Amino acid sequence: MTTANEPYVLNIGPQHPSTHGVFRLRVVMDGERIQDIDMVIGYLHRSMEKLAEERTYTQNIPFTDRTDYLAAMSNNLGYCLAAERLAGVEVPERASYLRVIFAELQRIASHSMGNGTFINDAGAWSTPLMYMFREREKILDLFEMTCGARLTTNYMRIGGVAFDPPNEFYPAVNALIDELPDRIDEYTELLVDNEILLARTRNVGVLSAADAINGSITGPMLRASGVPWDLRKAEPYCSYDRFDFDIPVGHVGDCYDRFMVRLEEMRQSVRIIRQALEDLPSGPHKTEIPLALRPEPGEAYARVEGPRGELGFYVVSDGGPAPYRFHIRAPSLINLSLLRQMAVGASLPDAIVTLGSTDIVVGEIDR
């Protein structure tokens, strides 16, 4: 039996709708305030990195679909860049542009899901989520049109992309990017000045720029804390240096800023896609490689700016047809690591909103 002054432990999960996956929070409460919090992971572990050491370099691409399953294109891209760096494979210019188009479409789809579920965590009805799912579904239609899959796309290949988009893809994607700015304006009008959203997110889950940097935080969470770091600008890959776009940043580093940064990044992705489509070069969509690729012994690391931050792949070759070592730098795992710092001292409802603002995907935490 506890007294009024005695802390108590509250378990949330491992299957709770607020945790965005099979994930558990062990919360020590002192009255209505959080005294301590543990993030318990491992419920979805699949030994993916070890299994990758028994499959060829090409056979490992589908594994990357199933890490961050809300951003399969970005995961495909990061791994293929690492394998290409390891094997010295050059990618045709057209393939680089196609990779940018699909990676940015994936970013919009991922941010639509991230912001939509975040609004639900903040207590809204499902209307904003359904609005954002509307755009996400149109993007998944484009993926299906191109590669036959919507979620686990397996589209990128070592040396380029699996298929050139069909002729009907181009009018469909142009129609979508013409429509998206008005849709994003609609979200802005509906949500940005909403007094309930402001009350639930302003000065909640604050993460300073210094703490974000010290914690190796990347992506929208880092930029929301006021740090304009984006790999597409800092270390361009896939011809990103040819495109004109801005890096949205926040000022406070709270849940509201994280929401706004993702919203503004959707606008910038539209700008990038439009430029890539206008300048899309002709030529092959892939460099042919051996069926059983055997890179020379060595190691390579490649990273991309995924929707959740820096997504890196480290691959080691011993000269055989499969990687000797395969490791993923998963941004969700690192971004989750500072949840305790952001949540201790807050109320439980604020902690749930803060968790939602990190936009984690448990599939890339439990690899």
- For 336-356, what is each residue's pLDDT tens digit? 999 999 988 888 888 888 988
Burial annotation 97-119 (CB, 10 A radius, 16+ → b, else e): bbbbbbbbbbbbbbbbbbbbbbb
Q: What values do phi and psi take at 33, rounded to 5?
A: -110, 150
- Please, what's the largest Cα pairwise distance for the chain? 73
- Domains of the chain, with CATH numbers? 61-365 (1.10.645.10)
Q: What is the pLDDT of residue 31?
A: 86
Three-class SS string for 149-205? CCCCCCCEECCEECCCCCCCHHHHHHHHHHHHHHHHHHHHHHHHCCHHHHHHHCCCC
C-alpha–C-alpha distance, residues 366 and 362, integer Å: 6
Please name the residues in contact with 1: beta carbons below 8 A apart, sequence gap of 6 or more: none
Question: What's the rounded mean pLDDT across residues 280-309?
Answer: 92
pLDDT, averaged across the chain? 90
pLDDT band for 78, please (50, 70, 90 cuts). Answer: very high
Q: What is the pLDDT of residues 19-75, one digit of tens each?
A: 677 888 898 988 888 899 988 888 888 888 899 999 999 999 998 988 888 899 999
pLDDT band for 329, please (50, 70, 90 cuts). Answer: very high
Q: What is the pLDDT of residues 212-271, one digit of tens each?
A: 999 999 999 999 999 999 999 999 999 999 999 999 999 999 999 999 999 999 999 999
Q: What is the pLDDT of residues 122-150, one digit of tens each?
A: 877 777 888 888 889 999 999 999 999 88
pLDDT at 3 over 60: no
Sign of torsion over alpha carbons 136, 366, 232, 205? positive
